[in-house]
Chains A and B, each alone.
Chain A
């Protein structure tokens, strides 16, 4: 299933500040909730988000249990050269979700 939604401008001028948006479907289970039988639901949150562009990590965040389900990030970076902008989400269970979007820099 499509679990991520990323938005990157298709084209940009070199040196231009571009806005990037990334969202992922994830329950962000806090570890503080109990199920119907009273047992603690184990914590499972995305604990790390990274955005890699042109060989560098341009944005990264550590996440904690207070972040809501389906976390959404919006940030800016400077367009340098054409290529892929990659997104990496890692959760407590070690599951890694990636997404990628192409940008053409003129």
Chain B
């Protein structure tokens, strides 16, 4: 009777040491890891099944909006861009890009609003509105599984450099830079949560804490408020520069939109 009982602790001890060894082997921090690698198995399962991923509600809305005529010309996104599944594939993997008209970098949300104003002749959508998040998520979703591949555009160099500077600059009353946590302490804990490497490959993503979809800009502002700094405004150049730098850091990781995070 007791043979099995004796055996069990021994077996679990062996198992435990196996787990410890595995986690030590995973230690090298130069290895890029998506934030998905740090979430609980339940959250991961929620993201990976499209019928349980709440972000898919926005993706479906985005598909409706993509085909809806807006503005005085009565044009929809599809009027010019056609089938998003074909023509938007890979777009999110290379954004933000250089905008030749304004001579500034533009992210996906900025591009959608630019298109609305210049081509559809209608009002831009408000940041974090369901409509803008839905369209952005729908476009980004077309690149799911593709590696992040920022183009080498020399016109972006100064903005990229500024993004890196912002990432490494200490801010706020807590005097912390993005890099203080996401480079120097990635994989360690901030209270109950594991600090990810800050690869923004799943945006817009569904954050369980927000109970809604949110953009990368919301996430960045969130962190700035967290270190008690004054956050940059939605749509500001600084946030786009940070996005630009972060996407270049994430090069090669697959796009996950819509992601699910705690």
Taking Cβ atoms with an 8 Å cutoff, the residues of A that contact B are 1-3, 5-7, 21, 23, 25, 28, 68-70, 72, 74
Contacts and interface: CB of A to CB of B under 8 A. Distances in A.
A25 B57 contact: yes
A23 B57 contact: yes
Contacts, number: 36
A1 B51 contact: no
Contacts of B183: none
A28 to B, nearest CB: 8
A60 to B, nearest CB: 20
Contact of A69 (B52, B56, B211): B211
B76 interface: no
A23 B134 CA distance: 17
Given A1-B60, A70-B57, 17 more contacts: A1-B134, A2-B57, A2-B60, A2-B61, A2-B63, A3-B57, A5-B60, A6-B51, A21-B51, A23-B57, A68-B211, A69-B212, A70-B54, A70-B211, A72-B52, A72-B54, A74-B52
B211 A5 contact: no
Contact of B57 (A5, A7, A28, A68): A5
B52 A23 contact: yes
Interface of B: 51-52, 54, 56-57, 60-61, 63-64, 134, 208, 211-212
A1 B63 CA distance: 10
Nearest to A22: B51
A7 B57 CA distance: 13
Contacts of A5: 51, 56-57, 60
Contact of A1 (B54, B56, B64, B208): B64
Nearest to A21: B51
Q: Which of B57, B60, B211 has the most CB of A within 10 A?
A: B57
A35 to B, nearest CB: 16
Nearest to B57: A25
Contact of B52 (A3, A21, A25): A21
29 contacts: A1-B60, A1-B61, A1-B134, A2-B57, A2-B60, A2-B61, A2-B63, A2-B64, A3-B57, A5-B56, A5-B57, A6-B51, A21-B51, A21-B52, A23-B51, A23-B52, A23-B54, A23-B57, A25-B54, A25-B57, A28-B211, A68-B211, A69-B211, A69-B212, A70-B54, A70-B57, A70-B211, A72-B54, A74-B52
Contacts of B64: 1-2
B41 to A, nearest CB: 16
A2 B61 CA distance: 6
A6 B61 CA distance: 15
A69 B213 CA distance: 11
Contacts of A7: 51
A68 B208 contact: yes
A103 to B, nearest CB: 15
Contacts of B212: 69-70
A68 B63 CA distance: 25
